[in-house]
Amino acid sequence: MIRIGLTGGIGAGKSTVARVLTERGAYLVDSDKIAREVVAPGTPGLERIVEAFGTGVLADDGSLDRPALAAIAFANEENRLTLNGITHPLIGARTTEMIGAAPADGIVLQDIPLLVEGGLAPLFHLVIIVHADVEERVRRLTGQRGMGEEDARARIAAQATEEQRRAVADVWIDNTGAPDDLEPVVGALWDDRLVPFEANIRSGTIAPAVAVDEPWGPDAQRLVARLWAVCGGLAATIECTSAADSSVRVVVPDADSAHKLAEPLREGGFPQAAAGSYGSADPFRPAAITMDVAAG
């Protein structure tokens, strides 16, 4: 199984990319849909929200009146934390349940609008960012969604910046152009990268070395962050020793920790090549990882 994080600014076309990938066979976990499900009428989530904020957050049909809730929940920090304390565990539990139901060879696509803002990028094998120029996004939001221009620009400004998104992007899809331009790009991503990557992880295969368009330098920080997410408390230090070819050194406190990390590393996209040596299962981004036991 491989987990792919998908995100992008409002109006960039993230849902279109999700549609193309699910048509190819991706297993979609839509965080917005889950967030609505856990507070639907009759759910414990909605009941707890009413207990916390009163019946004024309900619409006439008994469903959640989201604008009314937002006006209360975001009026102060205490209310916001109360709301998050209710919804976040429910969303997390449902997300875990859905991922657990995915097939063993699944390519799980998690559509998360606030992936960048939430610092979630290291938790995924790959992060796909869908991008479009600001003016194109404003045009789509005002023309296709009927949003006022001032509101559209305010929503765009409140989200992560292009620089912040580029910092976490393993795949950058520019969707500024015509809709027909997008499908072949996403299809090639599925065929050439995602399917082989998942197969390599499942079989514990290191991808053959390939020439890359640019050195790993810009990606080194992402690689180290991803390894920290995989290794957690079992690693003492993780450092990039050569950004040019993505060489990373992982130091563990003892041999037992090294043994325990072999399977998590494989599942995280870094199969073992030999004792103390791991590589990347990603066919588009090779990496060489050395694991050492701390002296003494």
How many whole angstroms separate alpha carbon 180 and alpha carbon 245?
35
Give pLDDT tens digits for 13-64.
Answer: 999 999 999 999 999 999 999 999 999 999 999 999 999 999 999 999 999 9
Neighbours of 111 (CB within 10 A): 24
Q: For residue 4, what are the β-bridge partners?
A: 109, 126
288 φ/ψ angles, rounded to the nearest 5 degrees: -120, 120
Residue 28 is encoded by which pair of tokens? 């979609």
**251 and 296 Cβ atoms separated by less than 8 Å:** no
For the beta sheet containing 171-174, the strands, ordered from the edge strand earlier in sequence to the opposite edge, are 27-30, 107-111, 2-8, 126-131, 171-174
How many whole angstroms separate alpha carbon 233 and alpha carbon 129?
29
Q: Which residue has the higher pLDDT, 178 or 174?
A: 174
Question: Which runs of E-coded beta strand occur in the chain?
Answer: 2-8, 27-30, 107-111, 126-131, 171-174, 237-242, 247-252, 272-274, 277-279, 288-293
Mean pLDDT lowest among 19-33, 86-100, 242-256: 242-256
pLDDT band at 76 (very low <50, low <70, confident <90, very high): confident
Measured over the CA atoms of residue 168, residue 173, residue 177 and residue 178, the dihedral's sign is negative
pLDDT band at 179 (very low <50, low <70, confident <90, very high): confident
Catalogue all structural domains in the chain, each as residue range(s) with its CATH number.
1-26+106-203 (3.40.50.300), 32-100 (3.40.50.300), 217-293 (3.30.460.10)
* Percentage of the chain exceeding pLDDT 90: 75
Q: What distance lies between CA 196 and its chain's CA centroid?
A: 19
Answer whether residue 293 shows pLDDT above 90: yes
Answer whether residue 212 shows pLDDT above 70: no
pLDDT band at 138 (very low <50, low <70, confident <90, very high): very high
Q: How many residues does the chain have?
A: 296
How many whole angstroms separate alpha carbon 245 and alpha carbon 255?
27
Mean pLDDT (the chain) is 91
Nearest to residue 273, comparing CAs of 286, 257, 289?
Answer: 289
Residue whose structure tokens are 């070395």: 209
